[in-house]
Amino acid sequence: MTPACMLVAVLVSSAFGGRAALSGPPARGPERPALQESDVERGKQTFMRVGCYQCHGREAQGASTGPRLGPNPLPLAAFTRAIRTPRNEMPPYSVKLLSDAELADVHAFVAARPRPHELSK
């Protein structure tokens, strides 16, 4: 697992008690405005271009090397901190590599991912 992926895994697990992928739909408000399709598409392109998919999967669904990031990501401020100043193996993505606008678009892409299908009981 890369340093970057491990950091995100730890942050997601600690922030959501290990249940980030199982929490309810994302809340809307000042921190979570309605997602724009153009932001989501730009975020997908950036997610692929900077290599996020290599650890987190093409749909941010998680993989053996990185945790699921969506559909309920950390709030944008916490997401940004996790990307800019990771604590474990995930490499840092400075503003030179990933602008604040690009990072917000990646957040929009991750937030727009569909919830996993739930099996009936």
Domain boundaries, the chain: 3-18+35-111
pLDDT, mean of residues 14-31: 40
**pLDDT at 66 (0 to 100):** 86
Compute the distance between CA of residue 38 and CA of residue 89 in angstroms, rounded to an integer. 31
pTM of the full structure: 0.69
Buried/exposed code over 86-114 (b: 16+ C-beta within 10 A; e: otherwise): beebbeebeeeebeeebbbbbbbbbbbbe
Helices of type H across 3-99 = 3-15, 37-49, 53-56, 76-84
**13 neighbors 20 (Cβ within 8 angstroms):** yes
pLDDT, mean of residues 95-100: 96
Taking Cα atoms as reference points, which of 16, 12, 31, 32 lies closest to residue 86?
12
pLDDT in tens, 61-93: 988 888 889 999 999 999 999 999 988 888 999
**pLDDT at 92 (0 to 100):** 94
- Please state, rounded to an integer, the average pLDDT across all residues of the chain: 78
pLDDT, mean of residues 14-20: 39
- Select from 3.30.70.20, 1.10.760.10, 2.60.40.10, 3.20.20.370 the CATH code of 3-18+35-111: 1.10.760.10
**φ and ψ at residue 66, rounded to 5 degrees:** -155, 150
